[in-house]
Amino acid sequence: MSYAELTEKYFRPGRLPHIWCPGCGHGITTGAIIKAIDGLGLDKNDVAVVSGIGCSSRASGYLDFNTVHSAHGRALPVATGVKLANPELNVIVCTGDGDCTAIGGNHLIHAARRNINVTVVLFNNNIYGMTGGQYSPMTPTGSKASTAPYRTIEQPFNITDLVQAAGATFVARGTTFHTAQLVDLIKKGIQHDGFSFIEVVSACPTSFGRANKCGSPGDMMKWQRDHAVMKLAWDKMDAEKQAEAKAAGKFPIGVLFETNAIKEYTKAYDEVIAIAQGGKK
Amino acid sequence: MSLKIITKRCKGCGICATFCPKQVLAVSEIEKIEVVNEEACINCGQCEMRCPDYAIFVEK
């Protein structure tokens, strides 16, 4: 099926054009999600898309699946409930850096700790776009934002390391430039039986780009091309070279961590239900 | 016509024009994408793949 036909099939009729600004990477990320779902041959009724609040979270309103547009930062609690109520559903969470790592930060680490089988797609545009360009926990140190007109002094989260440490069993990072790889990462995340986290390095030309003189939307995509390093190449660098690359703003992309050693939450819960109903102690 | 442009969806961000290897596309005065050199198009699909607005498709 061509991409044009996919957008006809998976977007709700009459919802395009979307509200995202010119050059916003979220459209590409949402496109990657529908390509991944179609690639896996999932039925629309077997997919639930849950989102919080923010630019990224508008995605659920456009997509023609079971969807919930929940409260700010609370996409993961809602997704946890959806998954527990119906473990057969493929639950995909569309969330932004502000939504997921700031107001929803605690929900994120605990969902990861529980290893519940939901796929989190973090649309990371480094800023709160919708509310006017305030800096988020993912804004790089030294960037300008409407709440940091003289540059932010805070360090951003290394969110992939954070969720891995919290217990996520599939952790990946992609960019909106590397679209084919991004589709593949989302597919792997959906297939993985456990908490899957995919950070998508997206671009906000309107709020982040203008404040930080990043150039045109095309220039911001070229920045992703020039700063993303494939995981295989990254692993071949020694510690010194990796430190140099990090200092130059480079980052690894690909599957960063994966394990099947930990039991998935709904499966573990089913076992507890069986014990409780069987009268055993 | 191998390129299908849905003008209503286009916001004129120019990403497709930036990545077009043959300079087939350009952003017009009214900030919509337009085909300026159709013969040069090689159907590579860069524009379709990179468009954040689902506004341009390569029809084969």
Q: At what angle do helices A105-114 and A75-85 cross, to 10 degrees?
A: 30
State how beta strands A134-135 and A127-128 pair.
Answer: antiparallel
User: Quick one: average pLDDT of A123-132?
Assistant: 95
Reported as type and span, the H/E element at residue A125 is none
The pLDDT value recorded for residue B2 is 86
- Burial profile A172-210: b = 16 or more Cβ within 10 angstroms, e = fewer: bbbbbbbbebbbbbbbbbbebebbbbbbbbbbbbbbbbe
Q: For the residues A145-164, what does the mean pLDDT come to?
A: 96
Low-confidence ranges of chain B (pLDDT < 50): none
Q: What is the ipTM of this complex?
A: 0.95
CA–CA gap between residue A28 and residue A200 (Å, rounded): 10
When pLDDT is cut at 50, 70 and 90, the band that residue A278 belongs to is confident
CB contact under 8 A, B54 and A27: yes
Question: What is residue B1's predicted lDDT score, i.e. its pLDDT?
Answer: 55
Closest residue in B to A179 (Cα–Cα): B49
Query: Which residues have CB under 8 Å from A38's CB, separation 6+?
Result: A1, A6, A9, A10
Cβ atoms B3, B35 nearer than 8 A? yes
Buried b (16+ CB within 10 A) or exposed e, A259-280: eeeeebbbeebeeeeeeeeeee
pTM of the full predicted structure? 0.96
pLDDT at A274 > cutoff 60:
yes
CB contact under 8 A, B14 and A4: no
Q: What average pLDDT is seen over chain A?
A: 96
Q: What pLDDT score does B60 carry?
A: 75
- Spatial neighbors of A132 by CB under 8 A, at least 6 apart, are A146, A207
% of chain A exceeding 70 in pLDDT: 99
Strand blocks (E) in chain A: 47-51, 66-69, 90-96, 118-124, 127-128, 134-135, 170-175, 196-201, 228-230, 251-258
| Domains along chain B with CATH numbers | 3-58 (3.30.70.20)
Put simply, the answer to whether B13 touches A23 (Cβ < 8 Å) is yes
Give residue-wise pLDDT tens across range A80-122.
Answer: 999 999 999 999 999 999 999 999 999 999 999 999 999 999 9
pLDDT digits (tens, 9 = 90+) for A25-68: 999 999 999 999 999 999 999 999 999 999 999 999 999 999 99
B34, B26 in Cβ contact below 8 A?
yes
Mean pLDDT over A132-145 rounds to: 95
Mapped onto helix, strand or coil, the DSSP state of residue A178 is: coil
Considering only CB atoms, B50 lies closest to which of A17, A28, A219, namely A28
Structure tokens at A5: 């036909």
Task: State phi, psi for A148 to the nearest 5 degrees.
Answer: -140, 65
Question: Which residues from chain A sit within 8 angstroms of residue B43, using beta carbons?
Answer: none
Residue A57 has what pLDDT? 95
Question: Can you give the pLDDT at residue A281?
Answer: 58
pLDDT score of A239: 94
Could you read off the pLDDT of A11-27 as tens digits, one per residue?
999 999 999 999 999 99
- Contact call for residues A261 and B55 (beta carbons, < 8 A): no
Mutate to test the interface with B, among A35, A56, A176, A221 (most CBs of B within 10 A): A221
Query: What is the Cα–Cα distance from A63 to A149, expressed in whole angstroms?
Result: 36
pLDDT of residue B50: 96
Domains and CATH numbers, chain A: 3-278 (3.40.50.970)
Backbone dihedral region of A213: left (phi > 0), alpha (psi from -120 to 50 degrees) or beta?
Answer: left
Q: Which residues of B touch A (CB under 8 A)?
A: 4, 8-9, 11-15, 17-19, 31, 48-55, 57, 59
The answer to whether residue A231 scores a pLDDT higher than 90 is yes
For residue A12, the tally of other CB atoms under 10 A from its CB is 12
User: Residue A130: which pLDDT band, with cuts at 50, 70 and 90?
Assistant: very high
Q: Is residue A222 less than 8 Å (CB to CB) from chain B?
A: yes
Say what the pLDDT of residue A153 is.
96
Which pLDDT score is estimated for A280? 58
Residue showing tokens 């057969």: A88
**3-state SS, residue A280:** coil
Q: Which residue of B has its CA nearest to A11?
A: B54
